[in-house]
């Protein structure tokens, strides 16, 4: 089970519309439940985001780091960590 701290949950609440057409959570509790349900992960660096996608088998050939970090399912928490929501 992942531990999502308030910074992660608030980041998701504030930015969820980058990934979904409408809000899926209105509170920190709802955000936490949603993130647990969809197996979201928090990684601690830009490099870890790239490693995550490589391990998931995504073809990153030709994609630059910024494109990957700007993907809809990647959320920049703002403290060096990233939230990744698996679709």
Could you state, in order of their start, the residue ranges of all structural domains in the chain? 6-84
Please provide the average confidence, as pLDDT, over all residues in the chain: 92
Contact 45, 80 (CB under 8 A): yes
pLDDT at 60: 77
Percent of the chain surpassing pLDDT 70: 97
**Which of the four pLDDT bands, split at 50, 70 and 90, describes residue 58?**
confident
Burial profile 64-87: b = 16 or more Cβ within 10 angstroms, e = fewer = eeeebeebeebbebeeebbbbbee
């Amino acid at each position: 089970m992942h531990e999502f701290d308030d910074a992660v949950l608030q980041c998701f609440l504030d930015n969820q519309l980058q990934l979904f057409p409408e809000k899926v959570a209105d509170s920190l509790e709802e955000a936490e439940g949603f993130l647990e349900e969809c197996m979201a992960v928090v990684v601690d660096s830009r490099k870890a985001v790239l490693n995550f996608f490589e391990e998931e088998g995504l073809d990153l050939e030709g994609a630059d780091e910024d494109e990957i970090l700007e993907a809809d399912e990647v959320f920049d928490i703002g403290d060096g960590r990233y939230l990744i929501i698996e679709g």
